[in-house]
């Protein structure tokens, strides 16, 4: 009988693992101004709560948030110029995450 040897992977990834709750950073002028004051904006999943978002930020970016604010974004009506049909943008949720003075998140 032959025995199989198992090996463990000792490599660690340099990039933090992606969270299913945090869809990505929200890059806008308002977010850039907020980042100067240690506040960051993220697109998050529709079912995400403040506590879940705080835990995901802590796991992904290795910083502890001081506070988290969550905003639901309503779908907005859009009209196609070509066909004239009325449609809507997709709805979403965004989170404002505030950190301590010394902490920073590298978004890009």
- The string of DSSP letters for 52-75 reads HHHHHHHHHHS---SEEEEEEEPP
pLDDT band at 5 (very low <50, low <70, confident <90, very high): low
Question: The domain that contains 49 carries what CATH number?
Answer: 3.30.70.330
The alpha carbon dihedral of 67, 105, 15, 44 has a sign of positive
At 33-74, the pLDDT tens digits run 999 999 999 999 999 999 999 999 999 999 999 999 999 999
In a domain, 14, yes or no: no
pLDDT higher at 68 or 6: 68
What's residue 18's pLDDT? 66
How far apart CA 22 and CA 26 sit, in angstroms, is 10
How many domains are there within the chain? 1
At 27-38, the pLDDT tens digits run 999 999 999 999
What's residue 97's pLDDT? 97
In a domain, 17, yes or no: no
In a domain, 74, yes or no: yes
Provide the residue range defining the domain that includes 28: 22-98
């Amino acid at each position: 009988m032959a025995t199989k040897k198992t090996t463990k992977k000792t490599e660690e990834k340099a990039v933090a693992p992606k969270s299913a709750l945090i869809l990505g950073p929200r890059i806008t002028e308002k977010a850039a101004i907020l980042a100067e004051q240690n506040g960051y904006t993220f697109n998050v999943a529709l079912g995400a709560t403040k506590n879940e978002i705080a835990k995901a930020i802590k796991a992904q970016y290795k910083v502890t948030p001081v506070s988290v604010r969550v905003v639901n974004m309503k779908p907005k009506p859009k009209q196609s110029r070509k066909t004239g049909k009325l449609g809507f943008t997709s709805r979403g949720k965004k989170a404002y995450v505030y950190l301590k003075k010394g902490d920073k998140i590298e978004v890009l």
